[in-house]
Structure 1
């Protein structure tokens, strides 16, 4: 079970006057104090969760708080959530939460709703991107978390590759490869431009990585400058990625391969082609090569 925390910003709403009349707040007049208090409560909950301090986290919840995990499991009450956090910390220590985006709205004077997306970093199982919604309530002058709900982001797999944006170089034998990854469109695709140089010859091309709207799988499309085309799928398996591809070369030959990407850190990863074959004839595996960030 993963817990989702985020920060917030103001969205104009309505408030009740001291005479009980309803009036619209000025959209340009944010509720700065409320926003700051909501932000402090969520930040404190985040710090408590990451440090495994279940008791401190529980103090920032309403007594009837509710947590809905990505698998649909529901945990109700402050005490039950405290116990769940304690168990989670034992099973998955050192989990970190990184904010990607968020927004806040105030449906009433004493309620706030925060939604957005975050990245959960697990030392043992890699990263995962999630969407969330947190409902907060003001009780006795304090903003407390009343409901926390999370679910997988519809483009989570692509966002899990966000770290690869940039320019990279590698060398294997006499071949040198330079690849630049960049966002394309509204972060709907990652586009890669690659150049392979060997023995004074070079091959250039482009690769697109994106989510197939029909299947939800992460797909890849390859376009070589000399006319070769290919496609495949990418699957995350723990800390490694598996890229399976089939490319039809301009010669008419069909190249198939399974490539394994293993991230080392933010500035390096390894890339290993396995099960290489041309027209069905197996050529085996190549050793892994280290790929290093240039910028």
Structure 2
């Protein structure tokens, strides 16, 4: 009896392993089909693009919304699109592949269309594959619009000249700063450090962003001593005015008006007025020139 149970368990295991391996193999085929489809699209080969579709496949044009029925009509549609200046680059990122039955597969993912001189357009898709004559072909593709993520680059691009690495130094003190975009270009991220006679005195991070409520550029700073602050930015002539307020590590308040003025692509001036710490007025800091680091 034990031998029978053992044989039954081993048999089930072998069957499950075989089915699992088969599923993985079929999934790889779908992935390779998708990759080949993208390659054909990007080389504007409408005939090859059409060969991936079922004879009665249904394609919905994502721009016009027109439904195109049948492989022949789909090939004609792509042929006209490519001939009429459809210079686009397609990128597809599959997310899931499932098999409702042995002859059906459903692939979901994200596709990106890039046109020359334009920002990439992203949408989700669901592709329905059918197995015909032992070959997987596309029966239908449905496009799903993705809600556009707000992008504040249009507001922050006026500060794009700040992007890069900068240095201000004299015999004893060296101040290094760097600015870069975050991945979505919704923020400019800055890092800074102050070194005196070779010893690090202070470091910190600055985040510059767009405030949609105030409809203005704002920034936030956090330093290694535990202090933090914020600033409102505005432009006056060729200069950027940053009105700052800070809470220092000891709990005292500080404020200043910092002025950034671009000179050229590799330098700008910085000065600070209206400086106050803990209720005490401090002298202004005269204009100094900050230079872009070489290399």
Give the TM interval when normalised to the shorter protein. Answer: 0.5 to 0.7
| Match of residue 107, structure 2, among 114, 120, 132 | 114
CA offset at residue 88 of structure 1?
2.6
Which has the bigger relative contact order, CA under 8 A and spacing at least 6? 1
| Match of residue 126, structure 2, among 133, 136, 161 | 133
| Match of residue 36, structure 1, among 28, 39, 45 | 28
Q: What is the RMSD of the two structures over their aligned residues, measured on CA atoms?
A: 5.0
- The residue number in structure 1 matching 2:190 is 194
Stretches of structure 1 that go unaligned for 5 or more consecutive residues are: 1-23, 161-167, 213-218, 233-244, 256-269, 271-288
Q: How does 1:213-224 map to 2 (within 5 A)?
A: 222-224=219-221
User: In structure 1, how many angstroms separate the alpha carbons of the residues matched to 2:218 and 2:138?
Assistant: 44
- The residue number in structure 2 matching 1:19 is none
Which TM-score applies when normalising by structure 2?
Answer: 0.52
User: In structure 2, how many angstroms separate the alpha carbons of the residues matched to 1:107 and 1:151?
Assistant: 21
User: In structure 2, how many angstroms separate the alpha carbons of the residues matched to 1:231 and 1:30?
Assistant: 60
CA offset at residue 119 of structure 1?
2.8
- Higher-helix-fraction structure: 2
Contact 1:137/1:146 (<8 A) preserved: yes
Q: Count matched residues.
A: 211
User: In structure 1, how many angstroms separate the alpha carbons of the residues matched to 2:113 and 2:233?
Assistant: 30
User: In structure 2, how many angstroms separate the alpha carbons of the residues matched to 1:137 and 1:246?
Assistant: 62
Stretches of structure 2 that go unaligned for 5 or more consecutive residues are: 1-14, 154-162, 170-174, 197-201, 223-227, 235-239, 246-254, 260-264, 266-290
Find the residue that maps to 2:39 and give its secondary structure.
helix
State the 4+ residue runs in structure 1 displaced beyond 6 angstroms: 24-27, 172-176, 188-191, 252-255, 289-292
